[in-house]
Amino acid sequence: LAALLHDIGKIGVPDVVLHKTGPLNEQDWKHIRRHPRMGYDILQNIPFLSPVLDAVLHHHEKFNGGGYPDGLQGESISLPARILAVVDVYDALSSHRPYRAAYFPKEATEMLLDESGQHFDPEVLQILVRILADDRQTATTTEAAHLPEQIQGEIQNTVNIL
């Protein structure tokens, strides 16, 4: 559910910002940076969605602490939010946007790998890379072998949703 609802807060971002074809200015970024908290606020009073609230709120946190809204870093970012961060950026890179064409999967993957340990959790990123290399079938790498199958399954499910 987090993968489906993570950007619901964008409902509060002006359309002119969401569909802008050029670079965002500082005011535009203020609107964008508010969407995770807005999404959290929208969903927080729906009891059955409580398990996804943290991922919705923190999917723009960066592994090095440079993200938003709370500047969390490393494993202080929940695993679902770290998974969503990687998969969301891959989806954004591999999808057409008003301001650019979609990147090919190999290019998008290379861009993600360039941010390993900075923007993204390196372990989560390696599992995604393996899933993509295996044509979205399974994650069976030695890098991922020590992680519980449930985590590998969560990444796979998120990839399939997006």
67-116 confidence digits (pLDDT tens): 999 999 999 999 999 999 999 999 999 999 888 899 998 999 999 999 99
| Residue 122: Cβ-neighbour burial (10 angstroms; 0-12, 13-18, 19+) | middle
Question: Is the entire prediction scored with pTM above 0.75?
Answer: yes
Q: CA 33 to CA 78: how far, in whole Å?
A: 19
pLDDT at 148 over 70: no
Residue type present at position 107: E
| Residue 101: Cβ-neighbour burial (10 angstroms; 0-12, 13-18, 19+) | exposed
Q: Which residue has the tokens 């500047």?
A: 71
Q: Which residue has the higher pLDDT, 49 or 133?
A: 49
The CB-based long-range contact list for 96-99 (8 Å cut-off, 24+ gap) reads 98/19, 98/20, 98/21, 99/20, 99/21, 99/22, 99/23
Range from 76-85, 117-126, 138-147 carrying the lowest mean pLDDT: 138-147
Q: Residue 100: beta bridge partners? A: 97
Q: CA 38 to CA 26: how far, in whole Å?
A: 19
